[in-house]
Structure 1
Amino acid sequence: MILAVTFFVFAPGDFALANAKYAGFVIDAKTGEVLYEDRADAQRYPASLTKMMTLYVLFEELEKGNLRLDSRLKASQYAASKPPTKIGIRPGQTIRVEDAIKALAVRSANDVSVVIAEAIEGSEKAFARRMTRTAHSLGMISTTFRNANGLPNSEQKTTARDMAKLGWALHDRFPRYFKYFNTRSFTWKGRTYRNTNRLLGRVKGVNGIKTGYIRASGFNLVTSVERDGRHIIAVVMGGRSGASRNAHMVDLIGRYLDKARPGLRTAPLLVAEVPAPERLPAARPMLAFAANTARGGPLDAQAAILAVSAPQPKQQTAADDYDPIAARIREASEVAQLAYAGGDGRSDPIALLAARAEAKAAAMASAETAQGAAPAPKILPDARPRYASATGIGVRFPEPKALPRGWHIQIGATPSEAGARSLLARAQNEAGSVLNSASPFTEPVKKNGETLYRARFAGFAGKKEARAACARLKQKSFSCLALPN
């Protein structure tokens, strides 16, 4: 393989031994297979990789219609006071959203990061809480954000695995905006800034995504590479210099890109939740429906299509008594029907069945809570779901039952029960036999005044079995923690 740039070359092990801050990770973005990992779950400081999540949240606001690319954001004294790297925006000055995106993707501007945070959530502190919630909804359970730019904060931690998930999610969820990470230069107020990612334009196939550095972290880099029908996301954290970090990244690309599988994608889209109709993304086309159901075979595909045509809940009229459960089921069915029609480019009839079943379970839980009952842990079926949608949402949902005893494993905590269920279903589909006897369940927990839903599996005989399951899940790019009950 010939790369368009020459760097010093390190073997992965040699580079890692040279630096205690090091962590590395490479994943095949088409299959979800982990190609390389070294201390991938060790806590690290993200530095300016933080801005990947700042932009993820900004892209959410653009897709919701709350902001436009030509919307103007106003800088506060607090935002303007942030130390370099920055573009020097002054208090009271405004910047277009599109220029703000480029200021982060190209210049890694600390001041503009806070401008974005304050415009969306009112304060950087509130924005950081949203960043953390969003991270957890993506399965980044080892990540906590305390600011919008990655400036030093001892509580702002992440892992190489989590940063790969974030890079992957940005690519999947926001194809319309991901291109900004490939911007070579950006001009604002007469000054031109060059992208801090020196691999752009120098290594074939590199199309983003972000660099980062503070003294506590060392030199970090998340890279997306698409070449010859293959796609990988690679992470290097803790480099001693920008040059050595870049050299190691080039070496990882050279070693592992050819190990990725070309052709159609088989991994589900890495998206937190099924969005509301007005928020459906213009996502990249996924596999054809037949390919999505290849594991189940033609009979499964036929059954799923029949399920889509199942009778809908009765339409509500003005004279009817309001039925919140029926309303929730109708709403979710409309969302899934839009997806089935191809409005988001992911035509997936199973999504309709999944959304209807999920809506019924969620609505019943909401009604029970409204009547004064505390939300109880919901045990998902013991068997692996027969079907799964493009987002990994299983289609079988059981009635609540007693919480199993013994060792548990936790693979995530999300702001919604639907997100936790999706994570559990995807884990069951990918983990193999280690979860055959495990019972998936969700568990609500209050944290900082907000409810999160833990995604857990129960029923392990002991610590050894629970840790073995975690080891397998980590191979499949899941975070995992073994816990005694």
Structure 2
Amino acid sequence: MIKLLTKKNNYLFFLMLSFVFVASCALALSPAGTMVYEKISKAWPVRALVSNAISKKEFPPNPVISKDATFPIFSAQGALAVDLPSGVTLFEKDADKALLPASTTKIVTALVAMGAFNKDDVIEVGKIAIEGQKMGLKKGEKIKVSDLLYGLLVYSANDAAEALAQNYCAPRSFSEVGLCGRDAFVVAMNNFAQSLHLENTNFTNPSGLDGGRNHIVSTARDLIRVSSYAMKNSEFAKIVATKEITVKSIDGKIAHKLTNVNELLGKVPGVLGVKTGWTEGARENLITYIERDGHKIMIAVLGSQDRFGETKELINWIF
């Protein structure tokens, strides 16, 4: 009798273990499970949880370094290249070093604005005192949010960043009265960065200009992550792939001709965006998304003396 009970208990225990194992697997493969996995994983890229039923043949083979190949030598202070579908790091140099992101900041500025406004919302431009690249907004000018986003991402306009930030109001869920204005926008940028687990990123303004008591900082790894997220947004992807566009005020009296400052766009096969950046402190930055030979690659080059040349060199090295 004792032996029978023991066998029965062992059997029940085995069933319980099996149930826990199956439930754990189901959770891991669910969207919630993926979120938990991403939250606790510090390494980027976060590798997808893929079932054994999915064949590795679904991913194109990654580039293989030949025996006589040499790694690129960069002036860039930080660099990272990732094959997005597989999550494989192809090249890395000080990818977690905190550096000045300059106008690559505007990737997050755009994403926060897209979440706060409808693209057809009309903004009235206030007084903007900002240095650097500008699209030429006039005080009192009324312009669509979508057109400001083109100024922000195509021409890297600091006045577009400021106009969006000045007209921002946080959702009432964050405050009984709703926090509005530039400071609230910067808070929203940092909250957004935290939601994507950009662990080494901090924003102090919407344009990416240096200065202030606390420097704006990010890393190649963090910028790869947020750029990969951004390119999943079809509107964002369309804007950063635009070579040239003219946008106008609502009354049609003020026109802004915008030419993309990304010199690789339309010249290097497969390059589809994403964002440039430059300040005296940051030197030259460039985030690049490229689709070629079945691969989807994201490249970050920060603190470079030749962002376009070094990115092209890295692209040629990869392919």
Is the Cα–Cα contact under 8 Å of residues 168 and 184 in structure 2 kept in the other structure? no
Tell me the amino acid that sits aligned with residue 104 of structure 1: L
Deviation at 1:70, TM superposition (A): 2.0
1:46 counterpart residue number: 101
Tell whether the 8 Å contact from 1:72 to 1:94 is kept in structure 2 after alignment: yes
In the TM superposition, 1:17-416 aligns within 5 A as 22-61=77-116, 67-77=117-127, 80-121=128-169, 122-153=180-211, 154-172=214-232, 174-188=233-247, 189-240=254-305, 244-256=306-318, 258=319
* Contact map agreement 1:12 1:252 (CA 8 A) in 2: no
| Preserved contact between residue 168 and residue 182 of structure 2 (Cα < 8 Å) | no
Deviations 1:6-60 (A, max 9, x none): xxxxx755223xx6xx110001111111111101101100100010000111222
Deviations 1:402-450 (A, max 9, x none): xxxxxxxxxxxxxxxxxxxxxxxxxxxxxxxxxxxxxxxxxxxxxxxxx
Residues 136-155 of structure 1: per-residue CA shift (max 9 Å, x gap): 11121100001000011342
Shift of 1:92: 2.0
Q: Which runs of 5+ in 2 are unaligned?
A: 1-69, 170-179, 248-253
Whether contact under 8 Å (1:208, 1:223) holds in the other structure is yes
In 1, are the aligned partners of 2:72 and 2:314 still within 8 Å (CA)?
Answer: no
Does structure 1 conserve the Cα–Cα contact (< 8 Å) formed by 2:166 and 2:181?
yes
Mapped to 2, the partners of 1:191 and 1:146 lie a distance apart of 27
Please tell me whether the aligned partners of residues 135 and 159 of structure 2 are also in contact (alpha carbons under 8 angstroms).
Answer: yes
Q: Distance in 2 between matches of 1:115 and 1:12?
A: 43
Q: SS of the counterpart of 1:82?
A: coil
Q: Secondary structure at the match of 1:141?
A: coil
TM-score (norm 1): 0.46
Q: Which residue type is aligned with residue 144 of structure 1?
A: N
Q: How much identity, in percent, do the aligned residues show? A: 31
Give SS of 1:58's match. Answer: helix
AA partner of residue 123 (structure 1): G
Listed as ranges, the matches of 1:416-435 within 5 Å are none
C-alpha RMSD over aligned residues: 1.5
Alignment deviations for residues 355-379 of structure 1 (CA, whole Å, 9 cap, x no partner): xxxxxxxxxxxxxxxxxxxxxxxxx
TM-score (norm 2): 0.69
2-structure distance, mates of 1:227, 1:125: 41
What is the CA distance between 1:193 and its match in structure 2? Answer: 2.4
Q: Is the 8 A contact 2:112 2:189 kept in 1?
A: yes
- Matches of 2:245 and 2:104, distance apart in 1: 19
- Partner-residue secondary structure (3-state), 2:272: strand
- SS across alignment from 2:218: coil
